[in-house]
Amino acid sequence: MYKYQNTESIEKKLKDIKKLINEITFTRFNSNQHQELDKYAKIKSIHFSTAIEKNRLNIFEVNEIIETGESRTKFVKDIIEVKGYEKAFDHMMALVESKKLINELDICNLHAMVLTRDLKKKVKYREGQNAIYSNGSIIYM
Protein backbone atom coordinates (compact mmCIF):
# COMPACT_ATOMS: atom_id res chain seq x y z
CA MET A 1 0.00 0.00 0.00
CA TYR A 2 1.26 3.47 -0.83
CA LYS A 3 1.82 5.97 1.94
CA TYR A 4 1.11 9.61 1.18
CA GLN A 5 1.83 12.64 3.30
CA ASN A 6 -0.56 15.57 3.04
CA THR A 7 1.16 18.88 2.51
CA GLU A 8 -0.16 22.42 2.25
CA SER A 9 0.51 22.28 -1.49
CA ILE A 10 -1.55 19.09 -1.90
CA GLU A 11 -4.35 20.49 0.25
CA LYS A 12 -4.46 23.68 -1.87
CA LYS A 13 -4.58 21.67 -5.10
CA LEU A 14 -7.37 19.47 -3.74
CA LYS A 15 -9.35 22.58 -2.77
CA ASP A 16 -8.78 24.04 -6.25
CA ILE A 17 -10.02 20.80 -7.81
CA LYS A 18 -13.10 20.81 -5.56
CA LYS A 19 -13.83 24.40 -6.59
CA LEU A 20 -13.58 23.48 -10.29
CA ILE A 21 -15.81 20.44 -9.75
CA ASN A 22 -18.44 22.69 -8.15
CA GLU A 23 -18.22 25.15 -11.04
CA ILE A 24 -18.57 22.37 -13.62
CA THR A 25 -21.38 20.69 -11.68
CA PHE A 26 -23.55 23.79 -11.95
CA THR A 27 -22.67 24.60 -15.57
CA ARG A 28 -25.39 23.63 -18.02
CA PHE A 29 -24.30 22.02 -21.27
CA ASN A 30 -26.51 21.20 -24.21
CA SER A 31 -26.55 17.66 -25.59
CA ASN A 32 -23.96 18.34 -28.30
CA GLN A 33 -21.56 19.99 -25.86
CA HIS A 34 -21.98 17.08 -23.47
CA GLN A 35 -21.20 14.55 -26.22
CA GLU A 36 -18.14 16.53 -27.33
CA LEU A 37 -16.82 16.74 -23.76
CA ASP A 38 -17.36 13.01 -23.27
CA LYS A 39 -15.53 12.25 -26.53
CA TYR A 40 -12.66 14.59 -25.62
CA ALA A 41 -12.32 13.04 -22.15
CA LYS A 42 -12.35 9.53 -23.63
CA ILE A 43 -9.66 10.31 -26.20
CA LYS A 44 -7.43 12.08 -23.68
CA SER A 45 -7.87 9.31 -21.09
CA ILE A 46 -7.04 6.57 -23.56
CA HIS A 47 -4.10 8.48 -25.04
CA PHE A 48 -2.44 9.21 -21.69
CA SER A 49 -3.27 5.78 -20.25
CA THR A 50 -1.56 4.09 -23.18
CA ALA A 51 1.29 6.63 -23.37
CA ILE A 52 2.18 5.83 -19.76
CA GLU A 53 2.70 2.25 -20.97
CA LYS A 54 5.08 3.48 -23.73
CA ASN A 55 2.48 3.46 -26.53
CA ARG A 56 3.94 5.40 -29.47
CA LEU A 57 0.69 6.77 -30.89
CA ASN A 58 0.00 10.47 -30.65
CA ILE A 59 -3.34 12.00 -29.69
CA PHE A 60 -4.38 12.36 -33.35
CA GLU A 61 -3.72 8.67 -34.09
CA VAL A 62 -5.65 7.64 -30.98
CA ASN A 63 -8.54 9.84 -32.11
CA GLU A 64 -8.42 8.26 -35.58
CA ILE A 65 -8.62 4.75 -34.09
CA ILE A 66 -11.54 5.69 -31.85
CA GLU A 67 -13.36 7.45 -34.69
CA THR A 68 -12.78 4.87 -37.44
CA GLY A 69 -11.45 1.72 -35.77
CA GLU A 70 -8.38 1.98 -38.00
CA SER A 71 -5.09 3.84 -38.26
CA ARG A 72 -2.44 4.42 -40.89
CA THR A 73 0.34 3.87 -38.36
CA LYS A 74 2.60 0.83 -38.63
CA PHE A 75 2.53 0.21 -34.87
CA VAL A 76 0.05 -2.69 -34.81
CA LYS A 77 0.66 -3.55 -31.14
CA ASP A 78 -0.08 0.05 -30.19
CA ILE A 79 -3.31 0.05 -32.20
CA ILE A 80 -4.44 -3.15 -30.46
CA GLU A 81 -3.60 -1.59 -27.10
CA VAL A 82 -5.69 1.52 -27.85
CA LYS A 83 -8.62 -0.67 -28.91
CA GLY A 84 -8.33 -2.65 -25.66
CA TYR A 85 -8.32 0.55 -23.64
CA GLU A 86 -11.33 1.81 -25.58
CA LYS A 87 -13.23 -1.40 -24.82
CA ALA A 88 -12.33 -1.10 -21.14
CA PHE A 89 -13.23 2.60 -21.07
CA ASP A 90 -16.66 1.93 -22.60
CA HIS A 91 -17.25 -0.95 -20.17
CA MET A 92 -16.22 1.23 -17.24
CA MET A 93 -18.62 3.97 -18.32
CA ALA A 94 -21.42 1.39 -18.61
CA LEU A 95 -20.65 0.25 -15.05
CA VAL A 96 -20.79 3.83 -13.82
CA GLU A 97 -24.06 4.52 -15.63
CA SER A 98 -25.59 1.34 -14.19
CA LYS A 99 -24.98 2.82 -10.72
CA LYS A 100 -24.10 -0.62 -9.42
CA LEU A 101 -21.36 -0.97 -6.86
CA ILE A 102 -18.08 -1.67 -8.66
CA ASN A 103 -16.26 -4.60 -7.11
CA GLU A 104 -12.83 -6.20 -7.42
CA LEU A 105 -14.01 -8.59 -10.15
CA ASP A 106 -15.12 -5.59 -12.23
CA ILE A 107 -11.66 -4.04 -11.80
CA CYS A 108 -9.98 -7.32 -12.75
CA ASN A 109 -12.18 -7.59 -15.86
CA LEU A 110 -11.28 -4.04 -16.89
CA HIS A 111 -7.62 -4.86 -16.34
CA ALA A 112 -7.94 -8.02 -18.44
CA MET A 113 -9.59 -6.08 -21.28
CA VAL A 114 -6.56 -3.81 -21.37
CA LEU A 115 -3.79 -6.34 -20.84
CA THR A 116 -4.84 -9.71 -22.18
CA ARG A 117 -8.19 -9.29 -23.97
CA ASP A 118 -9.07 -12.55 -22.18
CA LEU A 119 -11.48 -12.21 -19.26
CA LYS A 120 -10.79 -15.79 -18.11
CA LYS A 121 -7.09 -15.14 -17.57
CA LYS A 122 -6.11 -14.03 -14.05
CA VAL A 123 -4.22 -10.73 -14.01
CA LYS A 124 -1.86 -9.46 -11.32
CA TYR A 125 -1.77 -6.05 -9.70
CA ARG A 126 1.10 -3.68 -10.51
CA GLU A 127 3.68 -3.15 -7.80
CA GLY A 128 4.90 0.34 -8.73
CA GLN A 129 3.86 3.72 -10.11
CA ASN A 130 4.33 4.91 -13.70
CA ALA A 131 4.52 8.48 -14.94
CA ILE A 132 4.80 10.36 -18.25
CA TYR A 133 7.52 12.99 -18.37
CA SER A 134 7.98 15.94 -20.69
CA ASN A 135 11.06 18.16 -20.42
CA GLY A 136 11.85 16.60 -17.05
CA SER A 137 8.43 17.33 -15.53
CA ILE A 138 5.67 14.85 -14.74
CA ILE A 139 2.70 15.59 -16.99
CA TYR A 140 0.61 12.53 -16.11
CA MET A 141 0.75 10.00 -13.28
What pLDDT digit, counting tens, does each position of 66-76 carry?
A: 999 888 888 99
For the CA atoms of 84, 86, 90, 96, the dihedral, rounded to the nearest 10 degrees, stands at 90
Instruction: Report the distance separating Cα 11 and Cα 19, nearest Å.
Output: 12
pLDDT at 47: 95
Instruction: Work out the widest C-alpha separation in the chain, in whole angstroms.
Output: 47
**Nearest by Cα to 115 from 74, 87, 75:** 87
pLDDT at 25: 85
CB count within 10 Å of CB 65 equals 23
Q: What are the residue ranges in the chain where pLDDT is below 50?
A: none
pLDDT at 20: 92
